[in-house]
Amino acid sequence: MTLIFIVGATATGKSSLALEIAERIQGEIINADSMQLYRGMDIGTAKVPMKERRGIPHHLIDILNVSEDSSVASYQSQAREIIDRLSSVGKNVVVVGGTGLYVKSILDELEFPETDPKIRSAIAAEAERIGGDAMHERLAKLDPAAAAAIPKENVRRVVRALEVIELTGKPFTANLPMAGHSRYPKARQFGLVMDRENLRERIDARVELMWKAGFVDEVRSLIPQGIKNGKTAQAALGYSHILAFLDGKISESEAKEETKRATRQYARRQETWFSRDERISWLKPREDRTLAEQVLSSTIG
């Protein structure tokens, strides 16, 4: 079995590359974007529409209601079960996504302590009191790598990281294994990178297209489905800002600009996270070979 990971920052073209590779190796795709797990969160997560999936099976997309909270542990077990099942019948697999912790959870063993309700509630209460931005700043001081991986809008995960730090006395990322002890040692990781200015333009253009495609209406339709009760889903980029707009806290133009700004910040954090993994081969455009050809030539010869 060939197991290929396509990773990198948002808006770099991971999904289209994964589709091309999966089609050429007759493989199936596993999603590693934490927000594409949610049903109904389509426009804002840049989910590939069903009609554009080329008949290629996609896994771990649309498996949660927006009122539910996702977890790395649950994702890890599900993703590995799918990989092992497909491997047992000789199927190739392409994993694609920009949620670094989800990618790492497939490849490496993640061991975190059990939650302590008292510590967790105390940190959560402080987050309510001083706000998510301040808590994320605290995390950045205690563990810059964790802050790079966790968007400040996702207060629940920031709280969990701070809880682990308090429980163990070590940075959150100190509980993550070093590269070299992979569950799938023959897996290959390929990263997409883009210069900062081009990526900024792509992100801004993508957000504009999302608005034209009905992003605001999508978020509005998710309110009766419980998005305001789901701490993970409501913290998603764009969704949190549109919810603030719909609640009358900011204007629609402010929601759009904040979505662009937050997405650019998240892209920088993604770049920081993935740059630490020396197992990733970074792809660059070449005149003589497409990105897909670069991946396939180094993977299957």
Checking if the pLDDT of 2 tops 90, the result is yes
Q: What is the pLDDT of residue 176?
A: 65
Checking if the pLDDT of 178 tops 60, the result is no
Q: Rounded to 5 degrees, what are φ and ψ at 152?
A: -65, -20
Checking if the pLDDT of 113 tops 80, the result is no
Q: Residue 246 — very low, low, confident or very high, per pLDDT cuts 50/70/90?
A: very high
Checking if the pLDDT of 275 tops 70, the result is yes
Q: What is the pLDDT of residue 112?
A: 65
Q: Residue 116 — very low, low, confident or very high, per pLDDT cuts 50/70/90?
A: confident
Q: What CA–CA distance (Å, rounded) separates 142 from 136?
A: 10
- Residue 227 DSSP class: G
Checking if the pLDDT of 172 tops 60, the result is yes
Determine the average pLDDT of the residues in 130-143.
93
Query: Residue type for 25, please?
Result: I
Nearest to 75 by CA among 1, 20, 157: 157
Q: Which residues are paired to 96 by β-bridges? A: 6, 31
Nearest to 169 by CA among 189, 131, 143: 143
- Confidence (pTM): 0.85
Q: What CA–CA distance (Å, rounded) separates 160 from 146?
A: 11
Nearest to 26 by CA among 93, 88, 97: 93
Determine the average pLDDT of the residues in 33-47.
98
Q: What is the pLDDT of residue 173?
A: 73
- Maximum Cα–Cα distance for the chain, whole Å? 59
Tokens of 28: 């199936």
Compute the Cα dihedral for 55, 284, 197, 237 and give only its sign: positive
Q: Residue 175 — very low, low, confident or very high, per pLDDT cuts 50/70/90?
A: low
Checking if the pLDDT of 174 tops 80, the result is no
Q: What CA–CA distance (Å, rounded) separates 141 from 269?
A: 15
H or E, element range at 262: helix 252-275
- Cβ neighbors of 176 (< 8 A, separation 6 or more) are 104, 108, 110
Determine the average pLDDT of the residues in 111-131.
87
Q: Residue 77 — very low, low, confident or very high, per pLDDT cuts 50/70/90?
A: very high
Checking if the pLDDT of 301 tops 80, the result is no
Checking if the pLDDT of 72 tops 90, the result is no
**pLDDT exceeding 70 applies to what percent of the chain?**
96
Q: What is the pLDDT of residue 7?
A: 98
Checking if the pLDDT of 179 tops 60, the result is no
Q: What CA–CA distance (Å, rounded) separates 130 from 138?
A: 11
Checking if the pLDDT of 300 tops 80, the result is no
Q: Rounded to 5 degrees, what are φ and ψ at 67?
A: -85, -10
Q: What CA–CA distance (Å, rounded) separates 281 from 294?
A: 10
Q: What CA–CA distance (Å, rounded) separates 98 from 150?
A: 12
- Cβ neighbors of 253 (< 8 A, separation 6 or more) are none
Checking if the pLDDT of 177 tops 70, the result is no
Residue pair 44/227 in contact by the 8 Å Cβ criterion: no
End-to-end CA distance of the chain: 14
Residue 63, SS3? Answer: coil
Q: Rounded to 5 degrees, what are φ and ψ at 283?
A: -95, 140
Length of the chain equals 301
Determine the average pLDDT of the residues in 246-254.
98
Q: Rounded to 5 degrees, what are φ and ψ at 177?
A: -70, 155
Nearest to 159 by CA among 201, 199, 180, 129: 129
